[in-house]
Amino acid sequence: MTQIVKKNKTTEEFSEDKLRNSIEYASDEAGVEEKRKKEVVDKVSRVIVEMTRKQKEIKSTDLRKRILSELDRMEPSVSEHWRTYDETKKQGD
C-alpha cells in the first residue's frame, strides 16, 4: 500500500476511508445535495485511489493538490470548503 509522507517527514498508510470521509465532510459543508455528494466522493476517490496504486510513496502536499484539482474540476464549492477548513486548521496550530 502507498505511504503518505507528511510535512514533518512521518509516514502513514494511504486510507481510502479517510479520503472519502474528508470529501464527504467538505461536501456537507458546501451544502451539496446527497446524490451529487455521492457522485463527487465516488469519482474523486476512484481517481485518487488509482493514482496512489501506481506509487509506493507520495507527499501529502502532492496528494492534496491532486484531490483539490479533481474537486475544482468536478465541484468547485467542495474544494473551496476544503481549502477553508485547511486554513482554519493551520490557524489553530
In a domain, 21, yes or no: yes
Q: Is residue 91 part of a domain?
A: no
Domain of 54? 3-79
Residue 18 belongs to some domain of the structure: yes
Q: Quick one: pLDDT at residue 86?
A: 81
Task: Specify if 85 maps to a domain.
Answer: no
Q: How does pLDDT run along the chain (93 residues), one tens digit per residue?
A: 899 999 999 999 999 999 999 999 999 999 999 999 999 999 999 999 999 999 999 999 999 999 999 999 999 999 999 999 888 876 655
Instruction: Dig out the grid coordinates for 82 from the structure.
Output: 476544503
Is 86 part of a structural domain of the chain?
Answer: no
| Burial 34-69, CB ≥16 within 10 A → b, else e | eeebeebbebbbebbeebbeeeeebeeeebeebbbe
Whether 13 is in a domain gets the answer: yes
pLDDT at 85: 84
Domain-located, residue 64: yes
Domain count, the chain: 1
Q: Examine residue 60 and state whether it is found in any structural domain, yes or no.
A: yes
C-alpha cell at 6: 507528511
